[in-house]
Amino acid sequence: QVQLVESGGGLVQAGDSLRLSCAASGSTFISYAMGWFRQAPGKEREFVAAITWSGGSTFYAGSVKGRFTISRDNAKNTVYLQMNSLKPEDTAVYYCADKRSSGSYYYTEAYNYWGQGTQVTVSS
């Protein structure tokens, strides 16, 4: 079992930055990759970013590429999402997820464990 706890969300203004953290505990050593997803009210959960266990490969949604950066510290079992130049359309609950299969990084079905989410609200 794996437990994921997100933190770092909040209310910011457009153009501001936030850094989200996701602390993992439990059987983390066999994780294939970690990802961040987000879900806005009335919308489906969507892919934001992912990073392989080694950190050697990263993947981003087109809407956040160049503004968001995913990273990880395996010694701390923590994954980060640095979000810069935030826009009102980035408002959502952000979830981190643990990927244990070789499926696509971009789909929720490939991820086996999920955190409870952290709210990010960007005002205009």
Which residue bears the tokens 């994921």? 4
Q: Which of 98, 71, 99, 97 is nearest to 83 (CA)?
A: 71
pLDDT digits (tens, 9 = 90+) for 36-78: 999 999 999 999 999 998 888 999 999 999 999 999 998 999 9
- The per-residue pLDDT for 101 is 82
DSSP 43-98: S--EEEEEEETTS--EEE-TTTBTTEEEEEETTTTEEEEEE-S--GGG-EEEEEEE
* Gap between the Cα atoms of 88 and 32, Å rounded: 32
User: To 5 degrees, how large is the angle CA 34–CA 37–CA 38?
Assistant: 155
pLDDT (average), residues 9-23: 98
In whole angstroms, how far apart are CA 2 and each of 11, 22, 29, 77, 110?
Answer: 28, 12, 10, 11, 15
Q: Report residue 38: phi and psi, to 5°.
A: -145, 155
Read off the pLDDT of residues 77-89 as tens digits, 9 standing for 90 and up: 999 999 999 999 9
Q: How confident is the model at residue 11 (pLDDT cuts 50, 70, 90)?
A: very high
Question: In terms of Cα–Cα distance, which of 98, 6, 7, 95 is closest to 45?
Answer: 95
CB 51 within 8 Å of CB 33:
yes
Instruction: Give the mean pLDDT of 115-124.
Output: 97
Residue 66, pLDDT score: 97
